[in-house]
Amino acid sequence: MRRRRRLPLPRRHRHRHPRPHPAPRHRLHRLRHLPVPPPPRRPPLQGPAPQLRRGRRHRRAPRPRRPLPTPSPSTSLRACPSAPASAPPRPPPQPPPKAVDALFGSRLSRDDLVLAGLESEKAVSGFHADNIAPAILGGFVLVRSYDPFHLVPLASPPALRLHFVLVTPDFEAPTSKMRAALPKDVLVQHHVRNSSQAAALVAAVLQGDAGLIGSAMSSDAIVEPTRAPLIPGMAAVKAAALQAGALGCTISGAGPTAVAVIDGEDKGEEVARRMVDAFWSAGNLKATATVAQLDRLGARVISTAALH
């Protein structure tokens, strides 16, 4: 079979690729003598010169870090101290739940305010009402149970004028470390002794017996013996406070603050000086002291001018 021969297409049917147009030629020799404007000047820098890192990258000066608030220590029976006795009277700081409740018309009861504060406390040091309860209720507060939630305010006689000497050394004692030091197993005799001291402390508050309050708070047989060795000089500080006339001395919550109880403001300065000296001589630690009086009122609204 013979193959047919393809005939060439006519010129008008052939595909023709367009040729690219040549780039236009610019005559730059005519622009050589035109004046060129100078670059704009930058305004001079105000303030300190920025810091330099690799190459010519600039960065801002680091902002100073704000110190984190230190969580207050905790106990099962807490008292709410007021402003230092040596300072002029001034409104005490309000806990956030009370201030927020005042902004919304004071709709919550005091127990509800404590529960609201517990949610914030849980994120810092656990679900413990021994910090927020006396701060809101004032005075001595006994935390009986959490489920159901039950607080027992202890009304002490008005004649009871307790003062507290709080001495804080320059020493960090994390709450987690102090809690880990607590014994897992407790002897029956130690448990009986602490239960007796707790009952005596409640009775002393109700009767207004300042001497029994100091003696009961200084007779811990479980917590203080395990935490005191972790705070340098704590044993010497307690002995110095008792020798100076304090009614009792122990660790405030998890530490490292030491708290002493006195029945008059006149003894506060001497007891504080002895405790500060003991921290320095026995533990090689600097310390600061504060003398505070028992606050019976708790959190309260001082002024409503800013709320309207």
Active-site residue set: 121, 175
Residues 130 and 78 sit within 8 Å (Cβ to Cβ): yes
Q: Which residue's structure tokens are 């009792």?
A: 248
> CB-based contacts of 20: which residues, under 8 Å, 6+ apart?
none
- Token duo for residue 244: 């100076």
CA-based nearest residue to 164, from 74, 72, 82: 82
If we measure between CA atoms, which residue out of 82, 102, 119 comes closest to residue 290?
Answer: 82
**Is the CB of residue 130 less than 8 Å from the CB of residue 256?**
no
Cβ proximity of 285 and 169 under 8 Å? yes
Judged by phi (left if over 0) then psi (alpha if -120 to 50, else beta), residue 185 lies in: beta
Phi-psi region of 31 (alpha: psi -120 to 50; beta: other; left: phi over 0): alpha
